[in-house]
Amino acid sequence: MNISAMSSATTGIGSAMDLMSRSAGVIANQSVTASADPMAGPASNQQNGGSQLITPTGDITKALIDQRQALTMFNANAKVIRADGQMIGSLLDARA
């Protein structure tokens, strides 16, 4: 079984795009909850009408890491495609 670099890189780019799409969906579907600011103290909460913190309810950190990983995967596979094209070009030049 012979798997070409172009085929492998194309599959890798597809996987990177899927990961980016899934993680973007996780980020887009985040909901937030408001809670009292523990650092403000009770006097501040009364004066400011109750200062609040807004926190995500899901694991946004993993989604952001997945996006960075997808970007790295995409760039690496794009370089493989570029190198494959350069190799083919060099081979054609050598034969001419």
Please report, for the chain, the start and end positions of each structural domain, with discontinuous segments joined by +: 14-95
Place of tokens 């996006």: 67
Residue range 16-60, pLDDT digits in tens: 999 999 999 999 988 877 776 556 554 444 455 556 676 777 788
* CA 86/CA 1 separation, integer angstroms: 24
- Report which residue type is found at 23: S
pLDDT at residue 88 greater than cutoff 80: yes
Residue range 11-22, pLDDT digits in tens: 999 999 999 999
- Report which residue type is found at 24: A
pLDDT of residue 44: 46
pLDDT of residue 92: 82
pLDDT band of 74, cuts 50, 70, 90: very high
